[in-house]
Chains A and B, each alone.
Chain A
Amino acid sequence: MSLTTAPAPAASPATPRARPTRSRGATQRFRDVVVLTGRNLLHIKREPLQLSDVTVQPVLFTLLFIYVFGSGVVLPGGGSYKDFAIAGLLAMNLTTSSMGTAVGLSSDLGSGVIDRFRTLSMWRPAVLVGRSLADLMTAVICSAFVGATGLLVGWRPDAGVASVAAGFAIFLLFSYALSWGCACLGMVSKSAESAQGIGLVILFPLAIVSNALVPTEHMPVVLRTIADWNPVSAVTTASRKFFGNPNPSVTIHAWPMQHAVLASLLWSVALIAIFAPLATALYRRRTTD
């Protein structure tokens, strides 16, 4: 055997091999983000449950709410429930689907794949940024399904194309902001299942105790106050404004209802300002041992 007492093969100095060009600058960071966004989108495409969350569910919700609630809700100030409902359904779908961020991140953290990423010389926050961007893409798809279903059953915005686009955009921004909050949730939960459970408990009331699906006027005072200050209500009101759809909340005196667009933007910026750094810190903590 050649392994006897001879010392290890003569040590050649650490010759640099053909290394990939590695400017760790903005280009590489951008590339890391693009690669991981693509990877997360593939996940959504290949996981039937996640895929149905952004395709089947929005269609189903839209049809159910319009036909079930639509028959019972009388809007103060008049207007058709269909026209009222679409912004609310965007709120409902985008709020609950932001949970995907929490579930996706915590299942990544539970698998070995994050360890693999951590041994690569990649830009660390790309894991989070790639996740949030993929979720933004799915929010785009999800809202497209809501909008298309709405149009099919007779939703008619009463505004110019740019204004309608702004109505969607303000929702997408909010959903992006919310997904940073959900990223934090994913980081502190032990498993994908618990992330899903906790997420539901937080996000479902957030979507429901708002003016998204019914006008707040007839709610009990406490609920009504919460609803009027709920960021989801501000975004929904702003979006209805942009769509030119029935918008009973504009007569409510609460500040966010009077300044819905500004309030929505402030909420979104505030959520990102708080949760993006927090998520980064939590990620660092969770992946340090």
Chain B
Amino acid sequence: MTHDLMIEARGLRKSFGPTVALDGIDLEVPAGAILGVLGPNGAGKTTAVRILTTLSIPDAGSARVAGHDVVREAAAVQRNIGVTAQDATLDEVLTGRENLVMIGRLSGLRRAQARLRAAELLDQFDLVDAADRVLKEYSGGMRRRLDLAAGLLTRPPVLFLDEPTTGLDPTSRVRMWEVIRGLVADGVTLLLTTQYLDEADELADRIVVIDHGRVIANGTSAELKTQTGGARLELTLSEVHTAAAQVLAPFVEGAVHVSHDGRRLRAPVRATTGLASTVVRALDDAGITVDDVELRQPSLDDVFFALTGHPTEEPDNADLEVARS
């Protein structure tokens, strides 16, 4: 039943002049779930988020958020959402606290409520020390956290985060992930866009991969990974050994690929517990010493490549219609 969907989009289309930003996108997010919208630059992520957050009107298609139509019932949608846009939407001239109080009041909180809530959020986002400094003095990570806090003033049940960690250093990124996980533990419904495949993997229950304004894949992280054909075992031998491939054969799922220099071996495997040590022991018994062994899970990069035929770094590659069948 569609009643349990907090975010629901059908056939969203949007063009900017000749540029087709969204070419018929469907999205569904049940209450309490996290959807990761994954795609390279220019895929249409921001355009989709802008439509769902009432900032932009679709050329075709429709969307409901928290049960309200994003075009016809924009005000009702606005009362139910928190938004952290890709680009900063805060007032550079005000302090962190002033920004939060202002946004709280404009969302309908009374002055005392807004102050209290702002203080809570500044504390929760570790911005107490910077609370009374103007934003011009904030670092990128601090801004990002404040922008996120700004979406939470009224404790909205639905959150949209457009690339919440883009531009953050690895430490801030992990910290942001923790914050986001904390939010979700509170039961909010979250739509998160990202270009980082590991981020979608870390945070999202389901992932929608979009490219050139279309959904090219949709599933759980595990389902997407399966499409690229499971894990791979990679071995580096101390010295070339012709029998190595034979020893390996019983443990793998397909052909063993040997590199030109004969020292590196690669084969698809079904990842089972203890596989790596079993393989190493077998090789050892055959008198073959191993320098390095690695059991590689496919990354979502591999998934993207498998789906589109081009790596994520090249969004303008033309032959993407290979997509998926």
**Chain A residues within CB distance 8 Å of chain B:** 1, 3-15, 17-22, 24, 28, 31-32, 35-36, 39, 42-43, 46-47, 111-113, 115-122, 126, 288-289
Contact = CB atoms under 8 A, between A and B. Distances in A.
Interface string B187-203: 10000000000000100
Nearest to B94: A42
A45 to B, nearest CB: 9
B66 A8 contact: no
Given A11-B4, A14-B67, A119-B83, A43 B31 contact: no
B232 interface: no
B90 A113 contact: yes
B174 interface: no
B69 interface: no
B173 to A, nearest CB: 19
Nearest to B222: A4
27 contacts: A1-B221, A3-B222, A10-B32, A11-B4, A11-B5, A11-B30, A11-B32, A11-B33, A14-B80, A17-B155, A20-B108, A20-B110, A20-B154, A22-B79, A22-B108, A28-B108, A36-B106, A46-B93, A46-B134, A112-B87, A115-B55, A116-B90, A118-B54, A118-B55, A121-B78, A121-B79, A126-B106
B263 interface: no
A120 B66 contact: no
B165 interface: no
A18 B33 contact: no
A10 B30 CA distance: 8
Given A9-B33, A18-B155, A24 B92 contact: no
Nearest to B158: A14
Contacts of A119: 53-55, 78, 81, 83
Contacts of A21: 108
Given A13-B3, A42-B94, A119-B78, 15 more contacts: A3-B205, A6-B220, A8-B206, A12-B31, A12-B187, A14-B157, A15-B157, A111-B92, A112-B90, A113-B90, A116-B90, A119-B55, A119-B81, A121-B75, A121-B108
Interface string B28-39: 011111100000
A13 B29 CA distance: 12
Contacts of A28: 108
A31 B105 contact: yes
A38 B204 CA distance: 40
B107 A120 contact: yes
B320 to A, nearest CB: 26
Contacts of A111: 88-89, 91-92
Contacts of B187: 12
B85 A115 contact: yes
Interface string B3-39: 1111000000000000000000000011111100000
Query: Chain B interface secondary structure, helix, strand, loop or mixed?
Result: loop
A14 to B, nearest CB: 6
B141 to A, nearest CB: 17
A12 B33 CA distance: 10
Contacts of A39: 91, 94, 98, 102
A224 B113 CA distance: 59
A9 B222 contact: no
B16 to A, nearest CB: 8
B30 A120 contact: no
Contacts of A3: 201, 204-205, 220-222
A17 B6 CA distance: 14
A11 B4 CA distance: 6
Nearest to A117: B106
Contacts of A32: 105-106
Contacts of B30: 7-9, 11
A21 B107 CA distance: 10
- Complex A-B, nearest 5 residue pairs according to Cβ-Cβ distance, in ascending order: A8-B33, A11-B4, A116-B89, A112-B89, A121-B78
B155 A13 contact: no
A145 to B, nearest CB: 22
A32 B205 CA distance: 38
Interface in B69-120: 75, 78-81, 83, 85, 87-94, 98, 102-103, 105-110, 113
Nearest to B186: A17
A24 B55 contact: no
A272 to B, nearest CB: 25
B223 interface: yes
A53 to B, nearest CB: 16
Contacts of A113: 89-91
Contact of B113 (A20, A43, A118): A20
Contact of B103 (A12, A17, A116, A126): A116
B106 A120 contact: yes
Contacts of A20: 107-110, 113, 154
Nearest to A288: B57
